[in-house]
């Protein structure tokens, strides 16, 4: 597996967050502000570069959709925590396992 620091730098490049310190504990949505289509773009870039299988990843479990009026009318639903460490683990394993379903 490529060094974790190189993967974290790739995440910074894709998300334009070079000004932030990223660690395995960094939360993708809460700390980096990556949600909706930006989260999809990040994970597709990770999948393409590091050959990570995304088939088990249930996107709506971890990320909000793009903001729209329906989000406010339906109320706030907390999402499960998704961190840089989850991405590092997926790169090492080559996939997001069934636990991400």
pLDDT in tens, the chain (101 residues): 559 999 999 999 999 999 999 999 999 999 999 988 999 999 999 999 999 999 999 988 888 776 655 555 555 555 799 999 999 999 999 999 888 87
Q: What 8-state DSSP symbol labels residue 66?
A: S
Return the CATH number at 14.
1.10.1200
Per-residue pLDDT at 36: 87
For 97, half-sphere exposure in the C-beta direction (CA atoms, 13 angstrom radius) is 6
The pLDDT assigned to 32 comes to: 95
User: Distance of CA 100 to CAs 53, 62, 69, Å?
Assistant: 12, 9, 28
pLDDT score of 79: 78
What pLDDT score does 93 carry? 96
Q: What is the pLDDT of residue 63?
A: 86
Residues 84, 85, 88: CA angle, nearest 5 degrees: 90
Structural domain count of the chain = 1
Range of the domain at 28: 4-100
Entry pTM = 0.86
Residue 15 phi/psi, 5° resolution?
-100, 0
Is the four-CA dihedral 63, 26, 81, 44 of positive or negative sign? positive
């Amino acid at each position: 597996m490529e060094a974790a620091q190189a993967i974290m730098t790739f995440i910074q490049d894709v998300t334009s967050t070079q000004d932030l310190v990223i660690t395995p504990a960094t939360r993708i949505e809460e700390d980096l502000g990556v949600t909706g289509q930006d989260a999809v773009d990040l994970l597709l870039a990770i999948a393409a570069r590091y050959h990570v299988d995304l088939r088990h990843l249930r996107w709506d479990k971890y990320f909000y959709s793009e903001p729209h009026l329906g989000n406010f009318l339906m109320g706030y639903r907390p999402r499960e925590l998704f961190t840089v460490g989850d991405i590092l683990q997926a790169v090492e394993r080559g996939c997001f396992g069934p636990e991400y379903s």
